Structure 1
Amino acid sequence: MQSSSDLFPVALMSAELRGDLTEDVYRLKPGNSPDPSVELVLTRLGRFGHEGARGVPVILVHGSFSNRRFWYSPKGLGLGPHLARIGFDVWIAEMRGHGLSPRNQQYRRNRVADYARYDLPVIAAFVREQNGQVPHWIGHSLGGTTLAAALGGQYLGEGDVASAALFGSQISRIYWPLKVPPVAWSSRLLLKRFGVLSGSRLKRGPEDEPIGVALESLRWHGLFGRFGDAERDWWAGLSDVQVPVLAVAAAGDQQDPVWACRKLVEQVPTEHRHFLQLAKDEGFSDDFGHIEMLVSKAAEREVWPLVVYWLEHQRLPAATSTAEAMAL
């Protein structure tokens, strides 16, 4: 079968009409990581009748226990279709073993380090090849954390990222028991007995997560842990980022609190960092939650227009009621 790319083998899995949208699903087999079995699936959304027009590319990255349906429902609803309908070239990534992306041979060992170092650069390269422009990125929860890791590790640079928006993403929330070595060791031994964490059993979402991600998180939050891998300190590397970065936090988010989301973006140089808090005190209709900040009727009315403005201007509008919507 002829590849859809000159970079590495890519198969067009399907090309469908979904109402007023076109849906092209690509399977990438880059062969660039230690596990050569890795395949990644990208879904491109476009407007029917405008197939030849390539708008500004936007790549959406889901969080943990999730897949492309966070951005794009079977009924054609969500931020992804919204952006496609107004002319953006929308690409929805699914991480290893999530959604349409098959589980690789070493699935249980997958880590954010692998996503950031191997997978996101491949996705960026393919989108640039297909579109000809540098893409914008939007990540939710672990998707945003993965983007931060790729930026801090310098796996993605100015040629790969026009801007990055991180929704409900942080690494600074403290879990004090994990600072106690015996507790940390016991937790690691317990987790190693499992291959995956079940999203359905934990009531966290429709997908499983490889145990490697959980073990990696334990290391980050341990007594001498850091946001990075054996080779690079991603946290320190964020101070060298040269692209606009927006962090959005929700006042009602119990999982990724506002202060921790703010702390992440504060690692980015002042001239490139922006922060927005979704809260009643800031003029929004509600204290948004972790999911509701992007998936809700209120988000469609109040948050999605700000996302569009950000993608068009790489800043937030001066009329935004929150004083912290502008650069810190």
Structure 2
Amino acid sequence: MVAGTLGAGLLPWPVWAAGPRAITPRGPLPAAEQQVVNLFEGAAPSVAYITSETLQSDGWFGAEVAQSAGSGFVWDGEGHIVTNFHVVEGARRLWVRLDSGPPLEARLVGRSPEYDLAVIRLQRPPANLRPLPLGSSRDLKIGQTVYAIGNPFGLSRTLTQGLISALDRELPTTDYREVAGVIQTDAAINPGNSGGPLLDSAGRLIGVNTAIRSASGSSSGVGFAIPVDLVNRVVPALISRGVAPMPGIGISPVRPDWVARAGIAGVVIADVARNSPAAEAGLRPFNRRSGELGDVIIAVNGRPVATLANFVAELDRVGIGNTAELGVRRGDTERKVRVRVIDLTMR
């Protein structure tokens, strides 16, 4: 020990040779914490950091290159990566970083703005790809613990935890379309998380994180994920055909803004395709000559539909190949009609 002074008139103070303090042993992690650690370590190598390069107008009859980032995840061993459509929209070049490896160039193979889903494929897939195990969104319960992994604000491999706050939400995507059965969660989802996986406590994929509802654009405890049952229907079609199946019954609707201005609640039929399920069911379109309204679809399987977006979401819920019971109003009369739901992209 040596003595020193802080200044004139102050008492001497001792000075010791400083050294690190002894570390208190931690002991094993509690089982619940270790489960989360294992979940992250098992899933993180399958989560993709996606960088897209787009051309943006500079306002002076020119364009400049801009980059943006999002998330995705490994779908299969062939190098297919699932993400949101808005993550890759307009991209002329794409790169994917998996785990701690180098960026890998990828190309777009399928896109669905209607479901905000897209599939890209690695140009040179590595041999050790690890697809995420799939769960089901059909039997989810409010209150279940969920985990989101992604790249918020460019910070790679970020884990957040929360609960399923609500089920069966509807999420607007493109004009006149909504995704039905959306999962609401309070797990922190921020810009850059889009396209990343939402996992259950078993580490299974149950949704694709796609949006937050926030005035500031940052997490406010209300995030949304596209349910995995829908993802598992759309993604195989995007891989094989480049487009998603589109449920329908063979009608063309009157523009929703015109219907809304007329004060009509429901879907007004403009045309009925020949030999379609709608034609087989005897649905009558709007008569342009006489101005007669024809049939207005007001419900699907007992669930009211006030807009075209509601109607399309309900057909999604029914599923292609199944039968829907429509509530139809013609004049002052209401009736129920059964129709097959078909894939409009296959007609």
Normalised to the residue count of structure 2, the TM-score between the two structures is 0.27
The structure with more strand, counted as a fraction of residues: 2
Larger radius of gyration: 2
Structure 1 or 2: more helix by fraction:
1
Q: Structure 1-normalised TM-score?
A: 0.28
